[in-house]
Each structure stands twice: as C-alpha cells, then as structure tokens.
A and B are shown apart, each in its own frame.
Chain A
Amino acid sequence: DTEVTQTPKHLVMGMTNKKSLKCEQHMGHRAMYWYKQKAKKPPELMFVYSYEKLSINESVPSRFSPECPNSSLLNLHLHALQPEDSALYLCASSQDYSSGDEQYFGPGTRLTVT
C-alpha cells in the first residue's frame, strides 16, 4: 500500500502564528522529504531525513523547523512565516535515500500566510 498521508489539507495562518504540518507513511521507508511547491513550478527540496537523521537542509530559513519523531512520522514546524511562504508543501518518502529509489508523495498541505 503506497500511501503517504499529510495533515492538514489546507492551512491559513497569520505571520505571528505557530503551526505544524504532519506527514506519515507506513511503507517501512527510511527516507522522508519535505518539498515546497509554488504554483506552476516544480517542487523544491527543503529537507531530507534518512534513518530519522537530518541529511539535507537546503538552506531553508529557520522559521521552518523539521522534526522526525520516528521512522514513520515527519513534522514541519512553522513560526513567523512570511506571505511569500504561501505554497503547497509536499511530503514524500522512499525506501532508502542513497539508493535513489522513486519517491512517493502525499497529497500536500496548501498553506496560505496572511
């Protein structure tokens, strides 16, 4: 069952709010990813977790804080965001990061920062 779930589906937050995005996969994958996608553009990689350790941080501002509580869960904590952070946030997982396997994506969270 290739399924990655994300909550919430939609989120509207003010610039002073703190919120979290959640991602879960039950495929036994050891790599998990956060992407940001603006309208009509390809996804941009933000973070990669491999075996629950942060492997890649693509120079993402500190107002985005990832967390991997266990091998199935990935969170993205948001604080003091800017309107330009409004985007679709996609979570993905793959069997293993270094093998370069296909990534399976969740449905995304559409974030609007007001």
Chain B
Amino acid sequence: AQKITQTQPGMFVQEKEAVTLDCTYDTSDPSYGLFWYKQPSSGEMIFLIYQGSYDQQNATEGRYSLNFQKARKSANLVISASQLGDSAMYFCAMREDMDSNYQLIWGAGTKLIIKP
C-alpha cells in the first residue's frame, strides 16, 4: 500500500489564487514527520515546510501553511496568493521515527502550473 498519496498529478491555478495540494499518509507509527518540497524545472529540491506528528499547531512558513488533520491522516499544503514562480513539482514526504533508517518516504508529486 502507498504510504504517501498525492492524488493530483497536475493542477492549473490562476495567479493570485490560493492553492491546496493534497497529501494523505498511512502509518501506524505514533511519531512521524511530514515534509513538503518544491522542485522547479531547474531540478533543485527546495524544502518548504515541516509538521511533526505531535505538533499542536499547523505549521506555517510565509505563504505556505500545512493543513494537518491527524485523524484523517492528511497533510495538505496551502499556498496563499500564488505567484508565477510557484509553478513547479511539489512532493510530500514522511519520516517514520520507529524506522531506524529514518528514511524519507516520498509521494509521487503534483505538478502545479500557475497561469498569468
């Protein structure tokens, strides 16, 4: 079974609109971390935001916020006031703390295109 699911392979959004990128996860580990990365066409993987499973509040970082719904096992990324530069591939990833390898488990990604 997929541990990280990103159901939107691609999205088109009008500039200045808010965007929600979906991510659901599957784990039985009570302690885990969730990450969002952005990858423009240049290739660099850019860390955006992190949410720990025990964090009481949703993470925010500038225009990025993480809508963390633990009971639903979802960790959607919200980008406010989208810009043309937000066009990129977005990956959701999870780390399970009981996994002694501490490896990141990646979703398949969502390609976001912002229209002018």
Asked whether B47 lies within 8 Å of A42 as measured between CB atoms, the reply is: no
A-B contact count (CB 8 A): 45
Question: Given the complex, which residues of A lie within 8 Å of B102, measured CB to CB?
Answer: 97-98, 100
Q: Which A residues lie within 8 Å of B11 (CB)?
A: none
| Contact present for A42 and B95 (CB under 8 Å) | no
Contact of A43 with B by CB under 8 A: yes
A41, A45, A110: the one contacting B104 at CB < 8 Å is A45
Q: Which residues of A contact B101 (CB under 8 A)?
A: 56
**A100 interface neighbour in B44, B97, B109, Cβ under 8 Å:** B97
Query: Can you name the residue of chain A whose Cβ is closest to the Cβ of B42?
Result: A107
Q: Tell me whether chain A's interface is mostly helix, strand or loop, or mixed.
A: loop
**Are B109 and A104 interface neighbours, CB within 8 A?**
no
Q: Mark B23-67, 1 if CB is under 8 A from A, else 0.
A: 000000000010101000011111100100000000000000000
Check A92/B43 contact, CB under 8 A, given A42-B108, A56-B101, A100-B95.
no
- Complex interface: chain B residues within 8 A of A98 (CB): 102
List chain B residues, Cβ under 8 A from A100: 33, 95, 97, 102
> What is the chain A residue whose CB lies nearest that of B97?
A100
Q: Is the CB of A105 within 8 A of B103?
A: no
B43 and A42 contact, CB distance less than 8 A = no
Q: Which residue of A lies closest to B108 (CB)?
A: A42
Q: Are B104 and A103 in contact (CB under 8 A)?
A: yes
Proximity string of chain A (23-45) to chain B, C-beta cutoff 8 Å, 1 when within and 0 when not: 00000000000000000111101
- Given A42-B107, A42-B108: A106 in contact with B50 (beta carbons within 8 A): no
Q: Which residues from chain A contact B91 at a C-beta distance below 8 Å?
A: 42
Q: Which residues of chain B have C-beta atoms less than 8 A from A90's C-beta?
A: 43, 45
Collect the chain A residues with CB atoms within 8 Å of residue B35's CB. Answer: 102
Q: How far is the CA of A93 from the CA of B101 in the complex (A)?
A: 15
The interface of chain A, by Cβ under 8 A from chain B, is 40-43, 45, 56, 88, 90, 92, 97-98, 100, 102-108, 110
What are 8 inter-chain pairs, A to B, with CB distance below 8 A? A42-B106, A45-B104, A56-B103, A90-B43, A102-B50, A103-B104, A105-B45, A105-B46
